[in-house]
Structure 1
Amino acid sequence: MPEIEVFAPAKVNLALHVTGQRADGYHLLDSLVAFAPAGDRLRFAPAEAMVLKVSGPEARGVPEGPENLVLKAAALYGPGPAAAIHLDKCLPAASGIGGGSSDAAAALRAMARLRAVPLATGPAVVNLGADVPMCLDPRPARTRGIGEELTPVRLPPLPAVLVNPRVEVATPAVFKALVCKDNAPMDEIPAFADAAACIAWLARQRNDLQAPAVALAPVIAEVLAALEALPGCLLARMSGSGATCFGLFESDAAAAAAQERLATTTPAWWSAHGPLGDQAEAAAPRFI
């Protein structure tokens, strides 16, 4: 059987409202997510046993053992044909853009293709992580509950720059520092005529985790200020629980120029650019 390659795109929370907390401690969210053309790549080659090898520019510190979400995801399919998995890690770890969750979702798609079985869904997938279900089909969606309630949303492509200052922020610490955990949900999402209309609507929404994350890692405020100062930036905001931030720009050319400038002025920061939106086609598993 040929090898299978699958793309795991970065997930970006364009808005993230914390609307409550369940008795079991899980927080209730109302979030609008879209996916970026930046991401990790996984290659699956038929093998006698499930093994994982991690390489790439962001591979340092990423485990290759059974604690990795990629192997946990593959294990959901039970006994059967195995694979030697190579993860090309391009997204920073623990960065608020769903890298590990997107990798796990990509592994679920690849294993379903490898074994010619239906895609795994349900509680077992949610147990891998609250972000995994939304990464299974990387299209824009409104996510509610703890992240498992998904409503597809049509968004125009949004020219964007992603920036991470290479500071890891622990998600539990950010939620613990959140003062108010019962906030208003997002406004109803209209039909957007164009990217400018979408960005104007997003500017009226929030990321409720941004302030506590900045308190824990002040460099996030520096990233936001750097994005806001770039020509053509219409909105700068943190994604997820941080520390990755995004800037939305008036055009793809402005975003590309901004990312090039950031790479020159702050070379220690990770950055990428490209339109946020629907990455489902790019993420579909393919034989190679």
Structure 2
Amino acid sequence: MGVLARNNVTVTGRSDGPVVMLAHGFGCDQNLWRLVTPRVAEHCRVVLFDYVGSGRSDPDAWSEKRYSTLDGYTEDVLEICRELDLRQVVFVGHSVSAMVGMLAVAREPERFAKLVLLTPSPRYIDEGEYRGGFTREDIEELLESLDSNYLGWSAQMAPVIMGNPDRPELGEELTDSFCRTDPEMAGVFARTTFLSDNREDLPRVNVPALVIESASDAIAPREVGAYVHERISGSRLVTLDTLGHCPQLSAPEQTAEAIISFATETS
């Protein structure tokens, strides 16, 4: 199976606009961009995809060895870029995909023009003075719960991640997304995500970067957004007036406008 079919790649929008690549986070797929995509596509050429192991990607292409580190997800991104011969890409990475984007830019900088980090976290576990939002015991308990009862874990965690208790339909949508993911593949991706530490990669970003955070986010607290912003030279920080870890669902208009403004800005 070719790369484009393997990763369920779709391309939409203006052929003469800047290329914006939207990369989903753990437990999600490209469908979670659906409220943002039409607006961004008015100005940009939009590339969407599913990581292997997520959404409508080819499950036969998945291997625990490849996807037990962020390098496997980074290679997915780069193989899509090579197949489509993409250059000057504005990479928009949600959550863990923000770190994937950083790694992709470091490996093939000639393909990327800008980097948007949407609710990023380089390290979820508190360490010394660094506050990632979770203790190691929190993460170990989270992973054990996921392994023992993935569907139950999904129903419990999705509303916490979404963070909009007055809009339960958003948590339900994220629960459904989690539940569409194979539990074994999800378990590997969860470990890769929640045990990663990419703090040392932040100062290596050498393209214009925009950090987008929510006003309140249980997964990536404001301290994390400030940390990422401070350690990427020349980056900008935008705080959206919304709750939760998935502003592309809870505040799609604000999210789209932030992406469009940054992607279409000329120096």
On whether the aligned pair clears a TM of 0.5, the verdict is no
TM-score normalised by length of structure 2: 0.30
Q: Which has the higher strand share?
A: 1
TM-score normalised by length of structure 1: 0.29
